[in-house]
């Protein structure tokens, strides 16, 4: 209402079904209520976390996602298919076509066959759907649900391990498979921790035994572990923390 009073015209809300930063999920049902009341398009970004709806322990967090007008997903993130494989699901395909269709006469096809260049900005494209279709045929929806549930359980296990140690601090334990933490040995001063963790990340990435990314949470540098590999085991979690601790000591004494 304030935007409209200021002469602006709200058209859409982009909600998140699992942020890449921490795996946080927006209150989708409440946002859908707002969009319905205000006549706004509801887009849900489920690029990483959308498939978490398949896991029994997190299904309740996705209430309202079925009300979205569009949903973005990247199966190459948490459906275990090779890069690249991204997609968007839309409730009204004609609205999508009306938005993007700008086809010269030599490409126009007025038949009923789908012409995917009219549904997005890209024209020539590869057959990305094949690898996803084949994987679904092999694993099945129930198989995917079990693998995703297991990844989430492994994240909980990693978080429990971090809580038990004095040389690591848990910074964010999201509902999905992302854990954010930092290396903070007792001998390190608080004002050293950001630079220490930046250096630790660089060293471990160069050595190649484990691979994490970083993010910033509450103005603190965080290490980000995202479990999206069905081969990850409990033993890998122990190896991760021991590798980080050993590398951290080398960084401190360098």
Sequence-ordered list of residues with C-beta below 8 angstroms from that of 242, at least 6 positions apart, any chain: none
From first to last of its 254 residues, the chain has per-residue pLDDT tens of 788 899 999 999 999 999 999 999 999 999 999 999 999 999 999 999 999 999 999 999 999 999 999 999 999 999 999 999 999 999 998 888 888 877 677 666 666 666 777 787 787 788 889 999 999 999 999 999 999 999 999 999 999 999 999 999 999 999 999 999 999 999 999 999 999 999 999 999 999 999 999 999 999 999 999 999 999 999 999 999 999 999 999 999 87
Place of tokens 């909600």: 15
Sequence-ordered list of residues with C-beta below 8 angstroms from that of 121, at least 6 positions apart, any chain: 100
User: How far apart, in whole angstroms, are the C-alpha atoms of residue 156 and residue 176?
Assistant: 9
User: How far apart, in whole angstroms, are the C-alpha atoms of residue 130 and residue 141?
Assistant: 16
* CATH number assigned to the domain comprising residue 188: 3.90.1150.170
Verify that 63 and 47 share a domain, yes or no. yes
Identify which of 165, 217, 209, 228 has the alpha carbon closest to the alpha carbon of residue 193.
217
Verify that 150 and 116 share a domain, yes or no. no
Final residue in a domain of this structure, among 133, 157, 173: 133
Final residue in a domain of this structure, among 133, 157, 191: 133
Identify which of 90, 99, 96 has the alpha carbon closest to the alpha carbon of residue 44.
90
- As for how many domains the chain has, the answer is 2
* CATH number assigned to the domain comprising residue 51: 3.40.640.10
Which residue range is the domain that position 154 belongs to?
141-253
For 63, other C-beta atoms within 10 Å of its C-beta total 15
Helices then strands, each counted (H, E), the chain: 7, 8
Final residue in a domain of this structure, among 73, 100, 133: 133
Identify which of 191, 150, 198, 197 has the alpha carbon closest to the alpha carbon of residue 52.
150
**Res 40: pLDDT:** 96
């Amino acid at each position: 209402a304030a935007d409209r009073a200021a002469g602006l015209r709200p058209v859409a809300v982009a909600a998140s079904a699992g942020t890449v930063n921490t795996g946080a999920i927006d209150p989708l049902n409440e946002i859908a209520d707002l969009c319905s009341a205000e006549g706004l398009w509801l887009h849900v970004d489920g690029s990483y976390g959308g498939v978490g709806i398949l896991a029994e322990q997190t299904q309740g967090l996705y209430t309202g996602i079925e009300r979205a007008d569009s949903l973005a997903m990247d199966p190459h993130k948490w459906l275990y298919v090779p890069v690249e494989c991204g997609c968007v699901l839309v409730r009204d395909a004609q609205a999508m076509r009306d938005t993007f269709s700008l086809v010269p006469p030599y490409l126009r096809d007025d038949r009923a066959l789908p012409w995917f260049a009219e549904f997005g900005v890209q024209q020539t494209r590869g057959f990305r759907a094949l690898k996803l279709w084949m994987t679904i045929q092999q694993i099945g929806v129930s198989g995917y649900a079990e693998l995703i549930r297991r990844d989430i359980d492994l994240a909980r296990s990693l978080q429990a391990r971090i809580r038990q140690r004095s040389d690591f601090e848990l910074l964010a334990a999201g509902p999905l498979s992302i854990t954010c933490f930092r290396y903070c040995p007792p001998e390190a001063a608080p004002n050293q921790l950001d630079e220490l963790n930046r250096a630790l990340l660089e060293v471990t990435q160069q050595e190649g035994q484990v691979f994490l990314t970083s993010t910033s949470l509450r103005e603190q540098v965080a290490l980000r572990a995202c479990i999206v590999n069905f081969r990850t085991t409990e033993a890998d979690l122990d190896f991760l923390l021991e590798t980080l601790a050993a590398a951290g000591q080398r960084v401190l004494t360098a």
